[in-house]
Structure 1
Amino acid sequence: MIPVFLIRHVLGTRGVAEMFGIEDSYRYALWAMWPGEAWGQAALILLVWVHGCIGLHFWLEARPWYRRSQWLWYTLAVLIPTLAYAGFAEAGRRSRLVEDGFQNPFTAEQYATIQTVFAASALAYWAVLATAGAVLAGFLIAARFRARFTIAYDNGPTVVAPLGTTVLDVSRTHRIPHASVCGGRSRCSTCRVRVIEGLAQLPPPSETEAQVLRRVGAPANVRLACQLRPTSNLRISTLLPADRGAASGAVADKYLWGVEQEVTILFCDLRGFTRMSEGRLSFDVVFLLNQFLGRMAEAIEDSGGFVDKFMGDGIMAIFGIDGTPAEAAAQGIAAARAMGGVLESLNQSLRDDLGEPLSMGIGLHSGTAILGRIGAAHRNEAFARLTALGETVNIASRLEGETKALGVQAAVSARCMDLSGLLPGEKVSALAVPIRGLSVPIDIFTAVRATDLPAPVA
């Protein structure tokens, strides 16, 4: 429908300027369009704007910053065309109320000519559209008689489809469950399949498909179903289940597929716990560990963090699942400070039960990580425990390990400190330490006591 409205607009402005030498100024445009073409102009604005917004949404939907600020973009998507049309309507209304001496620039013959051109252009457009529809119908009819291929789904049905059809379209046509988070636009890898038979006869992957496959480290016999158009029979198996969460009636959850976003990771470990537990009753060991981990978990959650997991006498937490990277970094540092206070409180309350004070190490780092519900594919419960994966997690863990060698309670990466917007302070030391797996040392800030870390600004 966009060309229908756009043709009249172009012909009525630039067209008349070329044919009759009429000045296509804004003043003329208002005279020509208000009020007779007002609804057509509104329809044109709406169609073009919605079309563009849909494209931008599908382009940006996988980006974390876009998901966090969707309310802003939805607001702008409504406000911009509304205000634009309101301005046009007000200008058109005023142009009719004010006697500015503007005269009809057309002669009777010119007006008749432009109306004929309008009608002919609309007729030509519909003729082109009808021709395209006829060609498409011809292709669809021909598809029923052209060469076909067979897909055998491992542990599933065997179906037949015409050449030129993608594997994902075949699955959808025959109602075979097939994962596809991005909707078949090769922006994810969830639709990938393993080719069991017929690999040698398949066309090579396009550059777009190859880039996605390289990114996930897929072997040669794995292809994207949304891009693969078989030319011969083949047997495949889907690699990701399509009904995770749906089987139990749960609401769809983006973390089932994994989400890449910037977070802050905290690792904490209780020092010397093995030595401390020697000679103690099992019940006492469990009580002591529960006191430590339980109180530390409370400090993390009170600061806005999410406890990922308990690892023996250690704990891992994620900040920034909801919120901005800056908020996540500030929350992580606040949690570390609070945990330092908790440790001092525990040492005070348990001093009669402890041979020596409890000590701990905390590592904090901010960066991009993959958040996902690991294990959900093989469990009836769709919402398995959320966890974080990636280099950011590894660095935070290494920093926690460095605290022991450095003789400090907390080690915070410079990236985390910078994001938080906090000033380190006099009791915090800056240095660079080598991290296993990184080619260059990483800049960090250390505090002998976690309570010496900078406090958030009220």
Structure 2
Amino acid sequence: MTILSANARKKMHLISGGALGSFVLLRFFNHSLGLISIGAMEAGRRVFTLIWQSVPGTVLLYGALLLHFLMALDSLYRRQTLRMPVGEALKIIFGLSLPFLLIPHVVAARVEPLLTGVAADYPQILRALWSTSAGTTRQTIALLFVWSHACLGAWFWMRGRDWFPRYEFLLYTVALLVPIFALLGFVNGARSLGRDYAEHGGYGDRAYVSEMRPRVDPALAENIRLAFYAGFAGLIGGTLAVRALPARGRIRVRYPDGRVAAVSRGFSVLEASRAAGIPHVSICGGRGRCSTCRVRVIEGLDGQPAPETAERATLTRIGAPDNVRLACQFRPTQNVTVVPILDTDSLGIKTQLARQNGGGRERRVAVLFCDLRDFTRIAEHKLPYDTVFLLNRYFAVIGEAVESSGGVIDKFIGDGALAIFGLKTPLPDACRQALAATVRLSAGIRTLNQTFEGELEQPLRLAIGLHAGPAIVGEMGYGQATSLTAVGDTINTASRLEGLAKEHDAELAVSVELVERAGLSLEGYRRMDIGLRGRKATLETWIVEDAARLSEVMPAQD
């Protein structure tokens, strides 16, 4: 039995981590003021203290710290195996080591002032930290560990968001510069202590430090530090001991190749796979944010825990049958036999994991589908070489039109093409880019017809479909044929619109939704409602005979 649901635990971990991250970011900013002067650091410290040493700030900070640590221990307790991706392992190592690195600083900066009634200012803090080379090294390592843990936690939370690619470079830059400025401010502030620093040697003088303000009995301070060390070590050790107790019960998870993972009751199928060394796809890292780890339960489903809210939402979204569960969320209470639905080898997942978008993300994109009308009849009267040459010129027109407008070619299909807009831009911009590509494509086909006027019995004619909406974008395929592509209802709808353009002898059929998101109006063109297979509602569509005329209603392009 668990008191809190998995979703509630995740939210608590996230909220407490966000509060601690805010504290760390402000503290690092305070350190970086050392690049200006000691006075700037001290002024920043007063504001910082006003916020975080107030009663609400203190409750928030230490409550978040305790909650975050307890959630980390809970996560450690629930792990069946310590086999995990490197990123997750580093986050855990950094997180569990932080208390031991920060205890000396916390005792000197918070506990001693409470006992003496005298708060330390920044010069005193810097002299204390620089009193020994060991103290300086420990403070530097603690700073780097704190920031690394915060960045890894933020990355695990942000990487699956559809807005992350747009701000990825900016976020990585901030993640790199923040600790650099904090360390430079820390060093510059210590070196700018001036005559006192110079007179007392490279790292100061511990006797001198002790004269700066009333100090508690060194033995008492050491006992306090040891008590903290013992407390945190006991919590971690106790967690590891409890998770190893056999009283929790054992179950067996069987796989189709005959392998069996024996795990403690209460742990997930994904953890069972990792414990047994069985490859198991999990793009989101076991957080229930994707469905790549899903398994089909072929024996032992009766009597198992029902899916919680997050798992149920994902399974409903993909239309999974009742015997399909997410391996990262499914925690069997009795023996079970499962079949992983996505195989790591047959889908080339090992290669995909190394790529930025390999795991797949849901994005809101604009999609362009185009095709040549009656090209088969044209090709019948041409030599194979001439046909290939003409197609390559046509594909070049498509590529130039799409790429110059800000999109990417997904694939060429016979004499058709699929292009995607919005992988790096917001949806309104993507819709305008798709319309701009359509105008360029229409003009390019006219130029191509003029070039081959004497060789074509009839001019090349395009049919284009445009639509916007959500799609799954990721690396798909097999072996060398793996590439970045998109799938989903939005792609199917764009393809249907391209067919609609052919039916009405027009060059373009574009959904009203895409036009409205682009901030344009096509009043004066033919508008109709079409029915789509699998949809009850109709799709409002504009029919445009000459796509090049859209340039009249579009803003000028840079």
Q: TM-score range by the shorter chain?
A: 0.7 to 0.9
> Does residue 3 of the first structure (1) align with residue 99 of the second (2)?
yes
> Does residue 302 of the first structure (1) align with residue 405 of the second (2)?
no
1:333-353 superposed Cα distances (whole Å, 9 cap, x missing partner): 443233223322343355456
> Does residue 450 of the first structure (1) align with residue 545 of the second (2)?
no
- Residue 68 of structure 2 corresponds to none
Change (3 A) 1:294 1:217: same
* Cα distance in 2, alignment partners of residues 247 and 368 from structure 1: 23
Please state which structure has a larger fraction of its residues in helix.
2
> Does residue 210 of the first structure (1) align with residue 309 of the second (2)?
no
> Does residue 234 of the first structure (1) align with residue 336 of the second (2)?
yes
Q: Once the 2 structures are TM-superposed, how far is the Cα of residue 55 of structure 1 from its aligned partner?
A: 0.3
* Cα distance in 1, alignment partners of residues 437 and 423 from structure 2: 15
> Does residue 396 of the first structure (1) align with residue 494 of the second (2)?
yes
- Residue 176 of structure 1 corresponds to 278
**Structure 1 counterpart of 2:184, one-letter code:** A
* Cα distance in 1, alignment partners of residues 461 and 241 from structure 2: 77
* Cα distance in 2, alignment partners of residues 223 and 300 from structure 1: 42
Change (3 A) 1:175 1:20: closer
- Residue 123 of structure 1 corresponds to 226
> Does residue 21 of the first structure (1) align with residue 117 of the second (2)?
yes
* Cα distance in 1, alignment partners of residues 368 and 274 from structure 2: 43
1:21-58 superposed Cα distances (whole Å, 9 cap, x missing partner): 21444455445444555444323322221111000111
**Contact 1:307 1:315 (C-alpha < 8 Å) held by counterparts:** yes
Larger deviation, residues 196-205 vs 408-417: 408-417
* Cα distance in 2, alignment partners of residues 130 and 178 from structure 1: 33
- Structure 2 residue aligned with 1:365, among 428, 450, 467? 467
Change (3 A) 1:44 1:384: closer
Q: Once the 2 structures are TM-superposed, how far is the Cα of residue 81 of structure 1 from its aligned partner?
A: 1.6
Change (3 A) 1:452 1:52: same
Larger deviation, residues 145-154 vs 243-252: 243-252
**SS of 2:411's equivalent?**
strand
**Contact 1:334 1:455 (C-alpha < 8 Å) held by counterparts:** no
**Contact 1:295 1:342 (C-alpha < 8 Å) held by counterparts:** no
* Cα distance in 1, alignment partners of residues 351 and 282 from structure 2: 19
- Residue 224 of structure 1 corresponds to 326
Q: Once the 2 structures are TM-superposed, how far is the Cα of residue 76 of structure 1 from its aligned partner?
A: 1.1
Count of aligned pairs between the two proteins: 441
* Cα distance in 2, alignment partners of residues 77 and 136 from structure 1: 32
**Contact 1:149 1:233 (C-alpha < 8 Å) held by counterparts:** yes
> Does residue 139 of the first structure (1) align with residue 252 of the second (2)?
no
Change (3 A) 1:110 1:255: closer
Change (3 A) 1:66 1:307: closer
**SS of 2:144's equivalent?**
helix
> Does residue 434 of the first structure (1) align with residue 529 of the second (2)?
yes
- Residue 315 of structure 1 corresponds to 417
> Does residue 111 of the first structure (1) align with residue 219 of the second (2)?
no
Say what the alpha-carbon RMSD is for the aligned residues: 4.1
* Cα distance in 1, alignment partners of residues 523 and 386 from structure 2: 30
* Cα distance in 1, alignment partners of residues 362 and 181 from structure 2: 35
> Does residue 189 of the first structure (1) align with residue 285 of the second (2)?
no
Change (3 A) 1:354 1:217: same
**Contact 1:308 1:386 (C-alpha < 8 Å) held by counterparts:** no
Q: Once the 2 structures are TM-superposed, how far is the Cα of residue 195 of structure 1 from its aligned partner?
A: 0.9
Q: Once the 2 structures are TM-superposed, how far is the Cα of residue 363 of structure 1 from its aligned partner?
A: 2.6
**Contact 2:428 2:517 (C-alpha < 8 Å) held by counterparts:** yes
> Does residue 44 of the first structure (1) align with residue 142 of the second (2)?
yes
TM-score for both structures, normalised by structure 1: 0.78
**Contact 1:308 1:318 (C-alpha < 8 Å) held by counterparts:** no
**Structure 2 counterpart of 1:397, one-letter code:** S
Change (3 A) 1:242 1:296: same
* Cα distance in 1, alignment partners of residues 400 and 524 from structure 2: 27
* Cα distance in 2, alignment partners of residues 241 and 141 from structure 1: 31
**Structure 1 counterpart of 2:360, one-letter code:** G
Change (3 A) 1:291 1:341: farther
Identity among equivalent positions (%) equals 33
- Structure 2 residue aligned with 1:342, among 444, 457, 465? 444
* Cα distance in 2, alignment partners of residues 146 and 179 from structure 1: 27
* Cα distance in 2, alignment partners of residues 282 and 42 from structure 1: 73
Change (3 A) 1:434 1:4: same
TM alignment of 1:84-99, pairs within 5 A: 84-97=182-195
**Contact 2:99 2:232 (C-alpha < 8 Å) held by counterparts:** no
**Contact 2:369 2:464 (C-alpha < 8 Å) held by counterparts:** yes
**Structure 2 counterpart of 1:53, one-letter code:** C
* Cα distance in 2, alignment partners of residues 88 and 108 from structure 1: 19
- Structure 2 residue aligned with 1:383, among 469, 481, 484? 481
* Cα distance in 1, alignment partners of residues 124 and 148 from structure 2: 27
Change (3 A) 1:7 1:429: farther
**Structure 2 counterpart of 1:94, one-letter code:** S
Larger deviation, residues 346-355 vs 81-90: 346-355
* Cα distance in 1, alignment partners of residues 212 and 441 from structure 2: 86
Change (3 A) 1:27 1:169: same
Change (3 A) 1:348 1:455: farther
Change (3 A) 1:288 1:432: farther
* Cα distance in 2, alignment partners of residues 128 and 67 from structure 1: 41
Unaligned runs of 5+ in 1: none
**Structure 1 counterpart of 2:102, one-letter code:** L
* Cα distance in 2, alignment partners of residues 128 and 195 from structure 1: 43
- Residue 78 of structure 1 corresponds to 176
Unaligned runs of 5+ in 2: 1-96, 198-207
**Contact 2:506 2:543 (C-alpha < 8 Å) held by counterparts:** no
**SS of 1:45's equivalent?**
helix
* Cα distance in 2, alignment partners of residues 372 and 261 from structure 1: 10
Q: Once the 2 structures are TM-superposed, how far is the Cα of residue 192 of structure 1 from its aligned partner?
A: 1.2
Larger deviation, residues 259-268 vs 119-128: 259-268
**Structure 2 counterpart of 1:72, one-letter code:** L
